Each structure stands twice: as C-alpha cells, then as structure tokens.
Structure 1
Amino acid sequence: MSYQEALGLLKTRVKIFSPIANRGLQKRNDDLSRVRRWGKALGHDRKTFDVIHVTGTKGKGTTCAWTQALIQSYFQSNSINAKVGRYTSPHLYTPRERIAINSVQVSENVFAKHFFQVWNTILADVNGNSESMPGFLQFMALLSAEIFNRVGVAVAVYEVHAGGRFDATNMWDDTMVCGFNTIALDHVPMLGNNVKEIARNKAGILKSGCRAFSVQQSNDARQELEAEAAQLKCDLNFVETNESLIPKDPSGKDLRPADLNNLQLAIELANAYLFSKHNGRLSSKHVAEAMHIYNLPGRAQILEETESSTRWYLDIAHNDISIPVALDWFISEVWQAGHHPRVLIFGASSAQRNTDDVVRTLVRSCIARGFTFDEIVLASHQSSLDESILFTKDVACRTMDLWKEMKVVPSFQTIEQAIKSIRHADLGYQVLITGSAHLVSSAMLAMQSQTER
C-alpha cells in the first residue's frame, strides 16, 4: 500500500468540528477511552519511550520543538546513541511534518508502513465499520506512538491538539514531565467559556507524581493548575525567564520575548528528563547548539527571493494573544530597513475561534504601536487537512467594518492571486502573512508552486 493511498484514507477521517458543550462529559470520556483501547490493541501500553507532554494557548508547538532540539543537542554532545521523537500540529505541507525523529519528519515509506498497521488493527477492533474509525487527530496521535515505539525513540515530546484532559495525546498514565505555556481564551466553544474552565481542561495532562513546569500564568489559570497538581501530588514549578543560559539566535539577533519564555520552559522540561534518565543538565553550549537544530517552519519565518526584492514574513497567529506577538516581530524586523511598501495578508479559518476578536486585536495593536500597512489583503485559502476553501469572500466581507480604523480599505483575493500580484509588481514589498496555520500553509505552497513554473 502506498503513501498516497494512506493520505487518501486519512482525509476520510477529517470530521466536522463539534463544540465540547454539545458533546457532553461522557462523550468526551468515551472518545479518550477509545483512543486508549486502540493504543492497547497496538501494544502502546507497553511503549518503550518516555513522554514529555506540553499544552497551553500560545507557544506549545514551539516549546516542543525547542525541547526536542535541546535533548538532541545533549545526546549528540555526550555521544548518547538515542533518538528523540516529536509530535506537533498543525502541518504546513504534509501530515508527515507532525511526526519527527531527531528533528526530521518521517519518510513517506515509514509513514505508509506504520499507517496501514494502525489502520488495519483498528479496523479489526471496530469490526470493519469504517464510520467508527478514529478521527484525523486521534489517528495521527496513535500513528505517532506506533512509529516512535517501532523505531525505538528514547523520549517523545507531545504537543496537545487542544485542551488536554480529553485530548487524544493524553493516552498514557505514566507521563514523565508536563509543560504549560500561557493559558488564555481560545477554542472557547470546545474547551470552556472562561480561563478557569480552559485551565481546568489543560491541567488534565498532569499525572500522579510527574514533574511539571509552567510559564507565569494569570491567577485563574494558576489556581487550576495548582489544584490539580496538589490532588495528584505533582511537583509543579512556575518558571522565571533566566537569560544567562540563552544566547542570541544563530543570526545574532535576540529572541522575541515570547520565544524566550518558550525556550526557558523547554530548558526546564529537558532538564527534568535529562536529570531523571541521565543524571545530566543542559549547559549554555547545549542551548547554543540546539539553536542550530531547532526547526519549526511557519513561525517567525523570513523568506527572501533571489529573483525579486520582496521579503515575506510568515507567522502563524490564530488567536488574540498571538497576533500582537506576530505584529511586534514584524515591526522589529522592518523598522530599521527604510520604508518599503508594507503589506498585510490575513486570513482566519477556524470555527473554534472568533475571527472578529482576532481582527479587533490586530487593528488595536497596529494603532497602539503607531504602525500602518500600505495595503491589506484578506485572503481565502485551502485547508491543509481536506483542501476545502477557508475565509471565503462572504466571511471576509463580514469583517470589513472592523478594519475602518486602519485607514486602508482591505481588498479580497485568493492567497495565490495575492502572492502572484506582489511578485509581479516587484516593488520591494515587506509582506506579513499571518493568521491561521492553513493560510501560512497555503502561502508557502503557492510560493513554491509559482516558483517552479
């Protein structure tokens, strides 16, 4: 069976979003129970690797990538022949990106081989009823565990899809280390109506006796984490940023404040694992080397083109705490470069988020910083899961009134049209592409496709 056949079957598992309030506690428990049952059928209850589990509203994928890079750096410098797995989401080009070993996504052959092992095992468990098969995210979590088990990783760093307590990645009871990035309002229909409810959901990744670390949190979020940790007798620590261990990035620039928080949390997670399993700790040299290993496209990524003077700035920012971070990063990059035409390409796509709130935050952040764009493009784009069209013209037009304070009337284009017209003009544009992960994915695919023609 081929990789393309695996992708075809995987697309059939993309399900329509169902708010958590409409599903009920029993249904959510049943979902996770099924994942655990399927994991047991696959032998994952006898897994050979340790688990580091990370949740939060902003920065959890970045923290996972840093944690993997830090442990990998330590292994390399100490000649430890061990593999580090990483499971993150979303993907930009291919689902294989979600499953990485030593910072490299698994190959098509490895993906397909283990895909059909998982598919056939679960299909037998549900007596051939394809409608009872796992959803996309459930399946990917199970597939990652199957691959990590079979190829023999020593430790795997898992990013929660959303929430934590009922998430498919929460399939084990022996998690070694847990991490919490900033917890705020996000996925509200799915996780809860306020920060306390959302934090209570995310606190569900804690396991009896595990080590746990969190960035500084609001009082409501902190109280929920502390209550869960006390009940399970977890050692929960709130991390302060200590820049003494953190060098500049390989280009010589200081890391963004948000990235400093993510990296500091990752250092604590990696140290907890390394001390427990190898009686070791990271040095500043390990951190510096990890900066050359770290790889997570689509986050604070700059693309320059040799055939044009355009510079593209891509940053996934799909909620109202990540949008100001993306904007601050863009401003810091372009402020001293002299005035070139500055373009914003924006698109949102999730039924789980309030697009109006994200747009309001973006507009207010620009005004507060005295920053303007010369052009704003609202861009439709494709879902990286099932290729459906997201942020259509009708949806984009419903946000038009929210942009009035920007003094620039947005235009509507497909992401392919927007990139093509900017490239054709070749006016030295500085282009921020931000919003949903699907937008950034579509933009990168469009750039690649148009370059290859």
Structure 2
Amino acid sequence: MSGRSYKDAIDLLNTLQSNAATLEAMKASGGGKANGLVLLEMIEYLERIGYKQEDLNSLNVLHVTGTKGKGSTCAFVDSILRHTKPEWKIGLYTSPHLVAVRERIRINGVPISEELFAKFFFDVWDRLEENNQLHFTARQPRPMYFRYITLMAFHAFFTLEVDATVLEVGVGGTYDCTNAVPRPIVTGISSLGIDHVGVLGKSLGEIAWQKGGIFKEGVPAITVNQPREGMDVLRQRSTDLKASEFIVVPPIPEVSETQLGVAGTHQITNAGLAVTLSQKFLELKESILPPTSLPDTFIEGLKAARWPGRCQTVSDPNCPPIVWFLDGAHTTESLECCIEWFASPVAALRTVSAGDYPTRILIFNCTHGRSGPSFLEAMLTKMAAQLQIHGSSVTSQTFFDKVIFCTNVTYADGQFKGDLTAVSVDKGDLKTQQGLADAWASLVPTFPKEHVHVLPSIEHAVSVTREEASNGRPVEVLVTGSLHLVGGLIEVAGLSDVAL
C-alpha cells in the first residue's frame, strides 16, 4: 500500500461502492434472503476488527430511524446532550455526508479530522486483512461502503471513549447494519413518510415493520405521531420485541415557542422527538427525571442545533449578490416542506427594498430513478398555495426567472471531488436532466425556453448563476432535489466555511 493519507483512505473507500447495475439488482430483488445475513455479517466484521457485539452496548447508544427527519432529530439530540452535559464526549454518526466523508463521524459536533479519519480507516483495513477467517462474509472479505464507515464509526467511538452515541440508521431498521447494537439506551422513530410507500413499493405497514426492528427488549421505544396503519404496526412491534415502554411524543409547548437552529416548521416534530429521547436517555443513564418545564440547557441545545443542507440560507462570501437556499429534499413530502419554507417571509418572500427585487433561480436534480416530473409538479402546486397564503403578487409560473437541471458531477471536467465520488452515476448521461427540462416545459408552458438550462456538472450551474449576478443585482437560488447536489454545490461554490 503506497500511502496512508486521507486521500488514500478516500480512494480505497470509493472502491467499496456499489455500481449502478448492482444497486438496480438489489432494488429489483428487494434484498431477498441477503437481508437476513446483514447483521450476521456485521457481527463477524466487528469480531474481525477486535470487538464483540456486546461491546457496542458500552457506547450508550440512542438509535434513531424513520423515513423523514431522522438526521435532523439526531442533530437536535446531539446538541441537547452537549448543552446539558458539557463534560461529556458525544459521538454522532449520520449519513450521507455533504462535502467530506468525515462529516459522518463527529465528536462533540465536530467532524473528526482528516488525520483521525485516515487512522481509523487503516486500522479497520489492516485488522480485516490480518483476521481473514470468513464465515458469513465469505463473498465479501471487506464490507461495502456504508457498512465499512459504520465499522469505522464504532471503532472511533470506542477508541475516543465517548460517553454517549447518537446513531442514525442508514436504511430501514431491522436489517440495517447499525442494528447490530444489542441493547441501546433508547430507540426513536421519526415520521414515516407516506410518499415513501410509492417509492419503495411497500405498504406503510411494511415500512413501519422495518423501522420498528430497532426496538429492543427492555429498551424504551419512542415515536412521533404516525398515520394509523404505521402506528398500529409500531405498537405491535414494540410488544413483540419486548420494549420496556412505548411512548408517543406528546406536544411540547416550549419546542413550538423556540426558534430552532434548523429552519422549517416541520422541524418542530423532529425537535419534540429529540427532547423526549434526550429526557429518557438522561433519566436512564443519570437518574435525571424530566422536569415540569423544559430546562434552559434543552432550549439552548435546540437553538444551537445545526444540520447543514436542510432549509439553510447561505450568503455567498465569494459573490455577495448571491444568496443560496439549500435543501436536500428528495421526496414529494420533503420537497413540499422545502417550498413551504422557501416561499415564505423568512426566506424568498422576506422584505426587499423598493425596486431591488432579486433574480430567482432554481437548481434541481433527482437521483436513483425517482420521479422527477411528479416532484416538479408537487413543488409548483405547493408554491402556488404558499404564494396565495402570503398574498404575493407573483405566481408559481413566474416565481423563478431561470431553471437549471444539472447532474451531481462535481466539476466541469467531468470529475468528482474524491469524497463525492459516485460510481453509480453515468457522467456522460443527461437523460434525467433533459427529462426534467421537458417536464418543466409541460408544467410551465409559458416559461421562456432560453431560461431553462440542462448542464453536465454542478460547476457549470454555479458558473451560470454567478454570470447572472455579474451585474450586481441580487440573485436568490434554491438548490434542492438531492443532498448530493447540495453537497457538491457547497464544495464548488466555496461555501464550506459558512455552510458546514
């Protein structure tokens, strides 16, 4: 092995990605019998790097899943615990990352350094090499991308001796590799998005069954309010898996009255779940009973929470006329929440000086076979409703002056930033983007064709936007449809210092 730098680690990590054909095959099969092997394989990987499954209990895990808001919930929990127990070391594991892979593994809110990431990466790499006795992992001597980073996170949290671990599920729950933790302190489920039913081809009950798989014997099971079918399944799962109690998050007035650090009215639900998870965790670990009113440390934690790339407003330090509105929404429901935030007085409808109205641009992409045309239609419908609510003089048809559909390829030369490499993306294919442009033309037939751009990279999109701002007129840009798109834009536009 020639080198052991951060770049070397990222290059090797990218070799563990699944290509497009593999992803499609997995999607078509629904995982099949392989799902049942995931946890057995993960336990074996753990043993090969020197840990027993039971060791994971010492990480004091708060385990969170859901189809919407699980990442935001984890960010709120992390911030609450850091403000309530400042002497603690809090580990946070989330996915995906926006700009750098090391964002996924945080200590006290800060991504681990490139040096530590490289150290932990090669620790795991070497141990898997040295301990090559295979049983369940015979087909794959090393785990694929997400499972490898999960192993790294566990190794990092053990080595750094965290006091608590906020652990976000990757996909699903029952068969997710994070579910190898035998006994977390608390488990939580954020909203079960109804629109995932169509995307995943499963009923809400089936999705709830998967998510409820993180419930454990003797461990509190906590959920936000869910549609009846989902709630019934979750309640039954908590009984079947012998959870110590089943808690539906009650209304918490102080949460609704707090200016949350993560924008969007939908975050009130996620913040409420985070408060309940944190209270139960502190009760079980520190014998701190929930007070009658929300403690100041909780409120400060909610205010200070940050979750980049979600309903985030960023002024461009390199091109001051531009304000970027970033939201990685990638489902119908989350895009509607995005528009509810963007087309409001706190964002794009905020007061502007007379005659100083901005140029508005939409930069959009969607991935993994998602229905782009239906997403655009839902966005326009929500936009019309929001503009009517706020008494705006413009319509959804005229709200944007330009629309850009680009790929998630980072740079104009067709290359990705190392951390953003996606082997499942065909860098030369603009079929999805052209389809989005055609859908836009059908939905907004009066929109000038010359103002719709189909571009091969994020760098191209940033260049078009900055050219628009060259006359000094304010430019407001909504970037949405894909977290990968948002992360790539933060990288290309040089926003990391102000956005992350």
Q: TM-score, normalised by structure 1?
A: 0.90
Q: 1:357–1:35: structure 2 CA closer, same or farther, 3 Å change rule?
A: farther
In percent, how many aligned pairs have the same letter? 27
What residue is the counterpart of 2:157 in the other structure? Answer: 148
2:492 paired residue among 441, 446, 449: 446
Name the amino acid aligned to 2:228.
N
Structure 2 CA distance, aligned partners of 1:190 and 1:149?
A: 37
Contact 1:21/1:189 (<8 A) preserved: no
Structure 1 CA distance, aligned partners of 2:371 and 2:400?
A: 23
Structure 2 CA distance, aligned partners of 1:368 and 1:136?
A: 41
Greater Cα shift, 236-245 or 309-318: 236-245
Work out which of the two has the higher radius of gyration on C-alpha atoms and give 1 or 2. Answer: 2
- Structure 2: gaps of 5 or more residues: 388-395, 410-415
Matched, 1:261 2:264: no
What residue is the counterpart of 1:360 in the other structure? Answer: 377
Matched, 1:416 2:471: no
Contact 2:65/2:169 (<8 A) preserved: yes
2:311 paired residue among 282, 296, 300: 300
Contact 2:205/2:230 (<8 A) preserved: yes
Matched, 1:96 2:102: yes
Name the amino acid aligned to 2:422.
D
Contact 2:263/2:311 (<8 A) preserved: no
Q: In the TM superposition, what whole-angstrom CA distance separates every residue of 1:223-282 from its partner, at most 9, and x where no partner exists?
A: 11111011122212111332324553378xx95221111111000011110111112247
Q: In the TM superposition, what whole-angstrom CA distance separates every residue of 1:276-333 from its partner, at most 9, and x where no partner exists?
A: 1112247441123214542321111111135421111001101111001111111111
Q: TM-score, normalised by structure 2?
A: 0.82
Structure 2 CA distance, aligned partners of 1:192 and 1:158?
A: 26
Q: In the TM superposition, what whole-angstrom CA distance separates every residue of 1:77-130 from its partner, at most 9, and x where no partner exists?
A: xxxx32111100110111100000110111112111121121122234445989
Contact 2:362/2:402 (<8 A) preserved: yes
Contact 1:192/1:198 (<8 A) preserved: no
Return the offset for 1:20: 4.8
1:405 paired residue among 427, 443, 455: 443
What residue is the counterpart of 2:403 in the other structure? Answer: 376
Contact 2:78/2:166 (<8 A) preserved: yes
Matched, 1:28 2:35: yes
Return the offset for 1:411: 2.1
Return the offset for 1:444: 0.7
RMSD: 2.6
Structure 2 CA distance, aligned partners of 1:93 and 1:450?
A: 8
Matched, 1:226 2:238: no
2:283 paired residue among 275, 288, 294: 275
Return the offset for 1:25: 4.0
Contact 1:179/1:265 (<8 A) preserved: yes
Structure 2 CA distance, aligned partners of 1:248 and 1:391?
A: 46
Structure 1 CA distance, aligned partners of 2:430 and 2:105?
A: 34
Structure 2 CA distance, aligned partners of 1:67 and 1:40?
A: 29
Greater Cα shift, 313-322 or 285-294: 285-294
Structure 1 CA distance, aligned partners of 2:146 and 2:372?
A: 23
Find the residue that maps to 1:93 and give its secondary structure: coil
Name the amino acid aligned to 1:219.
R
Q: 1:292–1:263: structure 2 CA closer, same or farther, 3 Å change rule?
A: closer
How many pairs does the alignment contain?
Answer: 444
1:290 paired residue among 282, 301, 304: 301
1:117 paired residue among 111, 117, 123: 123
- Structure 1: gaps of 5 or more residues: none
Name the amino acid aligned to 1:113.
K
Structure 2 CA distance, aligned partners of 1:213 and 1:199?
A: 13
Return the offset for 1:37: 1.5
What residue is the counterpart of 1:133 in the other structure? Answer: 142
What residue is the counterpart of 1:430 in the other structure? Answer: 476
Name the amino acid aligned to 1:345.
I
Structure 1 CA distance, aligned partners of 2:474 and 2:327?
A: 20
Contact 2:271/2:302 (<8 A) preserved: no
Find the residue that maps to 2:187 and give its secondary structure: strand
What residue is the counterpart of 1:12 in the other structure? Answer: 15
Contact 1:44/1:149 (<8 A) preserved: no
Greater Cα shift, 235-244 or 99-108: 235-244
Return the offset for 1:133: 1.4
Contact 1:313/1:330 (<8 A) preserved: yes
Greater Cα shift, 334-343 or 435-444: 334-343
Q: Counterparts of 1:270-349 in structure 2 under 5 Å? A: 270-280=278-288, 281=290, 283-291=294-302, 293-306=304-317, 307-332=319-344, 333-338=347-352, 339-349=357-367
Structure 2 CA distance, aligned partners of 1:10 and 1:438?
A: 17
Return the offset for 1:183: 0.7
Structure 2 CA distance, aligned partners of 1:323 and 1:185?
A: 13
Q: 1:224–1:390: structure 2 CA closer, same or farther, 3 Å change rule?
A: farther
Find the residue that maps to 2:283 and give its secondary structure: helix
